[in-house]
């Protein structure tokens, strides 16, 4: 199955790139903006197939590269070697995008391996279920212990939700089924995740990324 997926991905990569380049002049003539097209690398957790898929995708020639098919139920110690095998073959001067990954530990590990971009539903999915991301880890807001808690979701968070509403009030909104509760928790969780990404960027520039990595992994094992 993985072999078939790798071969199919390579065939579609060539067809997609040809179609994209053929349509580029028309897009510009119509007043549109030129777009970037990313090729996708597959191969499951098989490092050899990841290497092969990356090489075949790079040979087509894209504007950047995505790594798909990871964070779909495999353990992190299976995911990271497969990711590293793919990244080793991808150009360092082009965007490298890991699809569908958003938990803090995986984010910091993937950045350490050389990933530039991510997308994930995790912050908003957590929010819908009352799970809150904080600098001390995550907690479940529906728990009874937060019913009268006057503290913000995360005392260290500068987001507008933490600046205005308490844990107790937001828990009440969840308890009565107020749709705004999920929205407010989403604003916080997304803000917290973006702040984590900013912290990683600052740590890289300051030469202390490994210290931050250890800090994150200690909180989010």
Per-residue pLDDT tens digits for 38-81: 999 999 999 999 999 999 999 999 999 999 999 888 899 999 99
**CATH number of the domain that 45 lies in?**
3.20.20.70
> What pTM value is reported for the model?
0.90
Same domain? For 74 and 172 the reply is no
88/69 same-domain check:
yes
16 & 84 share domain:
yes
* pLDDT, tens digit (0-9, with 9 covering 90-100), for 71-107: 888 899 999 999 999 999 999 999 999 999 999 999 9
User: What's the total number of domains in the chain?
Assistant: 2
Domain stop point among 120, 150, 184: 120
Domain boundary among 120, 141, 159: 120
Domain containing residue 91? 2-120
User: What string of DSSP letters covers 96-161?
Assistant: EEEET--SHHHHHHHHHHT--EEE-SHHHHHHHTTEEEETTEEEETTSGGGTT--S-S-TT--SHH
| 212 in the same domain as 151 | yes
On whether the CB atoms of residues 79 and 98 are closer than 8 A, the answer is: no
């Amino acid at each position: 199955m993985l072999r078939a997926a790798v071969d199919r991905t390579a065939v579609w990569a060539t067809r997609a790139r040809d179609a994209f380049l053929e349509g580029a002049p028309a897009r510009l003539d119509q007043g549109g903006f030129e777009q970037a097209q990313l090729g996708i690398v597959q191969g499951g957790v098989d490092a050899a197939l990841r290497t092969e898929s990356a090489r075949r995708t790079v040979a087509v020639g894209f504007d950047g590269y995505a790594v798909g098919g990871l964070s779909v139920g495999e353990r992190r110690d299976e995911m990271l070697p497969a990711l590293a095998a793919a990244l080793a073959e991808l150009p360092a001067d082009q965007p490298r995008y890991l699809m569908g990954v958003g938990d803090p530990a995986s984010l910091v590990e993937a950045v350490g391996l050389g990933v530039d971009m991510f997308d994930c539903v995790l912050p908003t999915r957590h929010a819908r279920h009352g799970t809150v991301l904080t600098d001390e880890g995550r907690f479940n807001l529906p728990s009874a212990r937060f019913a009268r808690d006057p503290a913000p979701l995360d005392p260290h968070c500068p987001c507008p939700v933490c600046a205005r509403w308490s844990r107790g009030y937001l828990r009440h909104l969840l308890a009565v089924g107020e749709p705004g509760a999920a929205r407010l928790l989403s604003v916080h969780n997304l803000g917290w995740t973006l702040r984590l990404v900013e912290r990683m960027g600052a740590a890289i520039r300051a030469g202390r990324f490994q210290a931050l990595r250890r800090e994150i992994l200690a909180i989010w094992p």
